[in-house]
Structure 1
Amino acid sequence: MESILPVKEWKSHVRPVLACKASEFKLMGYDNATQEDIWNCLSGKIWKGNPHKRLYEVVEDIFHLGTNVYMSYLTVNAYQEDDLEASIAALLNGS
């Protein structure tokens, strides 16, 4: 029987799969795709709340991640980072 663990505990086991997915995205023109970004995207969009899954389910989720979900994740993150930078700049300029 295969173990059912929280998704975060499978990360070290699926590094080769993440590397494969990052390579796939790079071949599709997303040159800045990284394993960490892909993992964070899945954690934030697909695996909310760190659910318990089997290894094959985690691998399946990684391979099924589409560029549309990945780009949506990156876009939202970029806006959030811009807002943070703008907030910090406003605080510093207001002092």
Structure 2
Amino acid sequence: MEKIHAYNHFRSQVEPALISKLEEFRLLGYKEVSEGELWDYLTRKKWKRVKEEIRIYEIIDDILSVKISDYISFTTIEAYKHNEVNLDDEDEMKELLK
């Protein structure tokens, strides 16, 4: 069950900033990133520690300051966490080494 993040009530207000960041990603060649995936990155990584009195301009600044390299690193680590590989299985090892 997904936990509701404390900043979710800002999401509709900051949607233009999210769209702007996604357009920047697309210009850099990363066309597959969705608004939901970007928001997930922000809530799980950037805003892991919730500030009680955060202002909307701080949230917008966080969105606009996301670097594609940070996002890609996060998604790569998450993929490794959720993809268990059995290195004792010879066929799986050969598949990885292709």
Matches within 5 A, 1:8-27: 8-27=8-27
RMSD between aligned residues: 1.7
The residue type equivalent to 1:67 in the other structure is I
Verify the 8 A CA contact 1:8 1:50 in the aligned structure 2: no
The residue type equivalent to 2:14 in the other structure is V
| 1:81 Cα deviation after fit | 2.7
Matches within 5 A, 1:1-95: 6-52=6-52, 53-83=54-84
| 1:54 Cα deviation after fit | 0.4
Q: Deviations over 1:25-81 (max 9, x none)?
A: 011011111111111111111101333310000000000011111011110122123
Question: TM-score scaled to structure 1, two decimals?
Answer: 0.74
For the residues of structure 1 that align with 2:29 and 2:51, how far apart are their CA atoms?
A: 31
| 1:20 Cα deviation after fit | 1.1
Which is helix-richer, 1 or 2?
Answer: 1
| 1:23 Cα deviation after fit | 1.1
Task: Return 5+ residue gaps in structure 1 as ranges.
Answer: 1-5, 88-95
Which is strand-richer, 1 or 2?
Answer: 1
Task: Return 5+ residue gaps in structure 2 as ranges.
Answer: 1-5, 87-98
Verify the 8 A CA contact 1:7 1:51 in the aligned structure 2: no
Q: Which has the bigger relative contact order, CA under 8 A and spacing at least 6?
A: 1
Q: 1:90 corresponds to which residue?
A: none
For the residues of structure 2 that align with 1:11 and 1:39, how far apart are their CA atoms?
A: 8
User: Structure 1 runs of 4+ off > 4 angstroms?
Assistant: none
